[in-house]
Structure 1
Amino acid sequence: MNTTDSYPFLKITQAIDHLSTHFRDQPSLADLASQVNLSEFHFQRLFTEWAGVSPKKFSQYLTLDYAKQQLRNGAPLADAAYEAGLSGTGRLHDLFVRIEGVTPGQFKQAGAGLSLVYGVFNSPFGAYVLGAITGKLAVIHFLDDAENPPAILTAAWPGITLRHEPAAVQFLADQVFPATGTTRSAEPVPVLLRGSAFQLKVWEALLKIPEGRLASYDQIANAIGQPAASRAVGTAIGSNPVGYLIPCHRVIKKTGLFGGYRWGSSRKQAMLGWEAARVGQRGGVMSDE
């Protein structure tokens, strides 16, 4: 993959780091541009092309007041009836996702001879490795410069055979992050998850959070019928193997603080702001006035 593909996101995350720390100071365009060593004109154009809104408008989506408002509005989590284990097929949010789950023990018994086919692709949030087993998406892991995709994949699925064949999994990458100007396929995205029954319930609950909306750890715990398990919910969310598609980035602290993220807090803020801007343009969150 061409490393220049991630150039816009690298610059955007530098700006987001500064915005998230200094949003109360309302940093100027000149200040933000200087943080990423770009001219004001170039930075404004790059940021707006990526986010769809100006840096000033984007900063509104990173404020504590905005996050609290989203939590008060509440994601429609409680209207779903969850069963232990799997909930089957359904349109769970803006993406079609069909989940199959296996416990570690089940995989150990039936996983001999399986291959994980993978490739490295680019997204609005930087490079990521995508892995699939028998045509089902099993891993989306966003990459930092020093990370090694084969090591990541074997840690997620120990003992499995790896095959680097990007062309064979391109169709899944296109379903998760469609190319600019194209629409997402209506075909379900088949996902194979390896986890406990509790983890599967938590990951399924995440799929009920709509794009541009937020939920707290407590809300997720209530949604799965275990209100006292918010700490365990946080652990399960942190071990989500399929970044972005299963939207663990949409879960924040009940105080309105964004909190940490497996793939970096700046990336989490980028995802939340990017989604809020997209929904805002459709009139669902905040107008771009």
Structure 2
Amino acid sequence: MNEQDQINFNRIADAIDYMQQNFKSQPDLNEVAEKVNISPFHFQRMFTEWAGTSPKKFLQYISVTHAKQMLKRNNATLFDTALETGLSGTGRLHDLFVKIEGMTPGEYKNGGENLAINYSFAETPFGTIIIASTSKGICYTAFADNENEAFVTLTKYFPNARFHQFNDLMQQNALNIFKHDWHELDEVKLHLKGTPFQLKVWEILLKIPVGNVTTYGEIAKRLDNPKASRAVGSAVGDNPVAFLIPCHRVIQSTGILGQYHWGSIRKTAMIGWEAAQVSLDKMF
């Protein structure tokens, strides 16, 4: 990300933070633009290019009130409602089916020995990410505010693997998820290492439709273990494939968006951005 892109992203992040903190007063365009030291005209254009929708509409998507309404909709859990209706909808991302192909116990035990892993860095609407893949699928993505530190973290996750900085076709396809037009997104395979419980939680995360959220408690119920919310939270936090496995779509039962490994502002931006894409998709 070049210096100007970083400045623009920081402005968008600051604007989202301000809107999140002040959604009850519904700040208008002029007020938010003033807070990020940019003219209303340029802020409107910059924000719309980034989110695909106006700041006013985006404010509606990220408000806590909106999250609470989603949880109460149809007198049923959002998760169940999403499964019954979202996956059969017409949204572009609904055509995506992500397969989990877990590592063998031997691969898990030896830290990825004999695995060849390609990795690269890419720009997204939410900042730079590192993305890595094996011959079987995407094995790791994370936001990389510091590229050197991000690579070190990747090598710790697979201490015995062989790494090659190369942007392969598997990565290129997966990165299409960040585009406004999801027609270019083909099937994405994931090559994951995790415990059986973690894999079950991550598989459930994959079934949360874009533009929707659920709670730790709802995931625990889906696992037929309603007392496992804390364990679910740990598994969600251990998600090795940021955004593709949408752990950002899990919020607290109170409707508060909650924390996120790569920052609560980034989480808020991701939820709002996805809601905006679904809204746009329904218009066409």
| Band the TM-score falls in, shorter-chain normalisation | 0.7 to 0.9
What amino acid maps onto 1:280 in structure 2?
A: S
Of residues 217-226 and 69-78 in structure 1, the stretch that sits farther from structure 2 once superposed is 69-78
What amino acid maps onto 1:98 in structure 2?
A: K
Match of 1:265 in 2: 264
The 3-state SS of whatever aligns with 1:34 is helix
Shift of 1:110: 8.3
What amino acid maps onto 1:276 in structure 2?
A: A
Indicate the percent of aligned positions where both proteins have the same amino acid: 45
Please list every run of 5 or more consecutive structure 1 residues that lacks an aligned counterpart in the other structure: 81-91, 285-289
Q: Is the 2:82–2:209 contact (alpha carbons within 8 Å) kept by the matching residues of 1?
A: no
Match of 1:40 in 2: 40
Match of 1:75 in 2: 79
- In structure 2, the CA distance between the partners of 1:145 and 1:190, relative to structure 1 (3 Å rule), is same
Q: Is the 1:5–1:122 contact (alpha carbons within 8 Å) kept by the matching residues of 2?
A: no
Shift of 1:72: 2.1
Shift of 1:207: 1.0
Match of 2:115 in 1: 114
RMSD: 2.5
Match of 2:97 in 1: 96
TM-score by length of 2: 0.86
Shift of 1:211: 0.7
- Note the 1:144-183 alignment, pairs <5 A: 144-145=145-146, 148-167=149-168, 170-178=171-179, 183=183
Shift of 1:166: 2.5
Q: Is the 1:207–1:246 contact (alpha carbons within 8 Å) kept by the matching residues of 2?
A: yes
CA distance in 2, matches of 1:116, 1:176: 21
CA distance in 1, matches of 2:251, 2:223: 17
- Note the 1:131-280 alignment, pairs <5 A: 131-145=132-146, 148-167=149-168, 170-178=171-179, 183-186=183-186, 188-280=187-279
Q: Is the 1:138–1:241 contact (alpha carbons within 8 Å) kept by the matching residues of 2?
A: yes
Greater fraction helix:
2
- In structure 2, the CA distance between the partners of 1:155 and 1:172, relative to structure 1 (3 Å rule), is farther
Report Cα offsets for 1:201-246 as digits up to 9, x if no partner: 0000001111111111110111122111001001100110111111
Shift of 1:3: 5.0
The 3-state SS of whatever aligns with 2:184 is coil
CA distance in 1, matches of 2:7, 2:194: 34
Of residues 257-266 and 155-164 in structure 1, the stretch that sits farther from structure 2 once superposed is 155-164
Shift of 1:135: 4.7
Report Cα offsets for 1:151-203 as digits up to 9, x if no partner: 1211222222221113565424444334x5573233x2110111100000000
What amino acid maps onto 1:273 in structure 2?
A: G
- In structure 2, the CA distance between the partners of 1:278 and 1:16, relative to structure 1 (3 Å rule), is same
Q: Is the 1:104–1:195 contact (alpha carbons within 8 Å) kept by the matching residues of 2?
A: no
- In structure 2, the CA distance between the partners of 1:256 and 1:24, relative to structure 1 (3 Å rule), is same
Report Cα offsets for 1:5-58 as digits up to 9, x if no partner: 455433211111111111112223222112222111110111111122221221
- In structure 2, the CA distance between the partners of 1:189 and 1:167, relative to structure 1 (3 Å rule), is closer
TM-score by length of 1: 0.84
Q: Is the 2:111–2:160 contact (alpha carbons within 8 Å) kept by the matching residues of 1?
A: no
Q: Is the 2:216–2:233 contact (alpha carbons within 8 Å) kept by the matching residues of 1?
A: yes
The 3-state SS of whatever aligns with 1:75 is helix
Q: Is the 1:217–1:254 contact (alpha carbons within 8 Å) kept by the matching residues of 2?
A: yes
Aligned pairs, how many?
Answer: 271
